[in-house]
Amino acid sequence: MRKVPAGVGPKYPQVVVLVGATGDLARRKLLPGLFHLACAGFIPALRVIGVSLDDLDADSFRTFARKALGEFFARTVTDADWDAFAETLDYVPLSAGADALKAAVDRAEASFEGECRRLHYLSVPPAAALSVVRLLGEAGLVERSRIVMEKPFGTDLESAVSLNAKLHDVFAEDQIFRIDHFLGKEPAQNILAFRFANGLFEPIWNRNFIDHVQIDVPETLGLGQRAGFYEATGAYRDMVVTHLFQILAFMAMEPPTSLEPVPIGEEKNKVFRSMLPIAPRDVVRGQYIGYRQEEGVDPQSDTETFIALKCSIDNWRWAGVPFFLRTGKRLAEGQRIISIAFREPPKSMFPAGSGVGAQGPDHLTFDLADASKMSLSFYGKRPGPGMRLDKLSLQFAMRDTGLIGEVLEAYERLILDAMRGDHTLFTTAEGIERLWEVSTALLEEPPPVRLYEPGSWGPKSIHQLVAPHAWRLPFERSWRDPNATGS
């Protein structure tokens, strides 16, 4: 595995207390991520203590972790790397209590020479978060530590305010890292680079030139093993309050004075403060047919597995520009795009039937997949006689740069940042509370869920929501494949 230069990661050895260690996220992302960070040399030394409700011992946790790597680690796992990582793993069932946890952390720390730090990663549902925080306090594990809190952070304004207050009884704000893994995605950070490192687009990044914005994250995935979590959470809390609004803030914020946590947090929070409350009439909630028959789901469930909504940012830059957000499970395609539609020019000079404007306005599109892509689509002349216009595009794919192997998976990047104490890509208490505040009317009076066919693009009423515009997905044209043969 590629080794990184010294000094990129944290200075001190790390003990990670991974709570929710046998959960879906740990299996899919956190254990593979920690494995990669450790083997590639990002962390000077590491010990991982798995904690969960399951009654395992250290060996069975190692077996669990090895299986997770087999399923979800994208690179090759060599025997040498695995043996080294396996040695760093330990396990304490939650039922063993504070003393047993403290003893395991002491053992892990004794294996290091000199100073070290603790990273508590809480991969647990909102209802369980506080009891774990108290356990960490009781075990005396607050000192030298940082705590990563998974989303959703609370379930509404009241619970988020109360969670923040109680969290502050145990941890200081600078120890707390509220994670939103979408902000750890390389292309999300590239929005900042693209907007603020170039002279071309920022001057037109406003209501005078931009007609509307779509942030669209359809997923083909279903619930996996997460029915319990999902049934109590739903698409709005799982994806919109967290990921989609955070991406929206990167897209919409004013230039921060520097790319540091406080200036970035301030600009994001200003966007959230200017956001108008989400009106239930601007929201379509959907549920895929068959959801209620899934194991662990209430047969009468009202949980939405799909949500599309319109929101507005009432400030000088964005007033009057609708932002359309959509996400859901079991949809036709898995995509993560931000699509920015520019205002259309006067078209009367073009002859009738020229095709100008026929395929929607010109667009800038960001694809937020790890192998990020960007495209600028525009009208151009079709070769030959007369004036017939086609929609053409300029496309960029990170894959073509040969640097794709350098990309850190979002969780890896954020775990590393938390270990280094860098809050830049984490969300603030104020920002999260404001997002719950604008969500209050919707949470109190949600529109009824409408059923949709798995494999579709959601309930039919999404077209009314976006009219007179149209959803950009599915794309009319596909991304260019550089390896494709043909003319």
Minimal CA–CA distance to 270: which of 251, 253, 287? 253
Tell whether residue 238 is a contact of ligand BG6 (CB under 6 A). yes
Distance CA 372, CA 298 (A): 38
Per CB under 6 A, contacts with ligand BG6 among 154-183 are 181
Closest approach of Cβ 336 to ligand BG6, in Å? Answer: 6
How many residues bind to ligand BG6 according to rule CB under 6 A?
Answer: 5
Closer Cβ to ligand BG6, 25 or 321, answer by number: 25
327: amino acid identity, one letter: T
Q: Which of 336, 373, 391, 423 binds ligand BG6 (CB under 6 A)?
A: 336
Q: Which of 110, 165, 221, 259 binds ligand BG6 (CB under 6 A)?
A: 221
Closer Cβ to ligand BG6, 46 or 449, answer by number: 449
27: amino acid identity, one letter: R
423 labelled catalytic: no
Closest approach of Cβ 52 to ligand BG6, in Å? Answer: 18
Residue 198 backbone dihedrals phi, psi, to 5 degrees: -125, 150
Distance CA 18, CA 409 (A): 18
The answer to whether the beta carbons of residues 272 and 207 sit under 8 Å apart is: no
Tell whether residue 413 is a contact of ligand BG6 (CB under 6 A). no
Q: Choose, from 36, 120, 181, 243, the residue flagged as catalytic.
A: 243
Closer Cβ to ligand BG6, 163 or 223, answer by number: 223
Closest approach of Cβ 126 to ligand BG6, in Å? Answer: 12
Distance CA 438, CA 442 (A): 8
Residue 364's H or E segment, with its range, is: strand 363-367
Distance from first CA to last CA of the chain, Å, rounded? Answer: 39
Distance CA 424, CA 407 (A): 18
Q: Which of 81, 211, 216, 219 binds ligand BG6 (CB under 6 A)?
A: 219
Closest approach of Cβ 181 to ligand BG6, in Å? Answer: 6
Which positions ≥6 away from 191 have C-beta within 8 Å?
Answer: 247, 250, 251, 338, 366
The DSSP secondary structure of 446-458, one letter per residue, reads: PPPEEEE-TTBSS
Distance CA 363, CA 378 (A): 7
Closest approach of Cβ 173 to ligand BG6, in Å? Answer: 23
Closer Cβ to ligand BG6, 176 or 247, answer by number: 247
Closest approach of Cβ 443 to ligand BG6, in Å? Answer: 18
Closer Cβ to ligand BG6, 239 or 389, answer by number: 239
Closer Cβ to ligand BG6, 178 or 181, answer by number: 181
Closest approach of Cβ 398 to ligand BG6, in Å? Answer: 16
Tell whether residue 362 is a contact of ligand BG6 (CB under 6 A). no
Point out the residue whose Cβ comes nearest to ligand BG6. Answer: 238
Closer Cβ to ligand BG6, 177 or 205, answer by number: 177
Closer Cβ to ligand BG6, 230 or 324, answer by number: 230
Distance CA 119, CA 182 (A): 20
Which positions ≥6 away from 469 have C-beta within 8 Å?
Answer: 211, 212, 324, 341, 360
Kindly state the tokens that stand for 396. Answer: 């960029």
The DSSP secondary structure of 230-275, one letter per residue, reads: HHTTHHIIIIIIIIIHHHHHHHHPPPPSSSSHHHHHHHHHHHHHHB
Going by the DSSP 8-state scheme, the letter that residue 154 receives in this structure is S
**What length does the chain have?**
487
Closest approach of Cβ 238 to ligand BG6, in Å? Answer: 5
Catalytic residues: 243
Binding site for ligand BG6 (CB under 6 A): 181, 219, 221, 238, 336
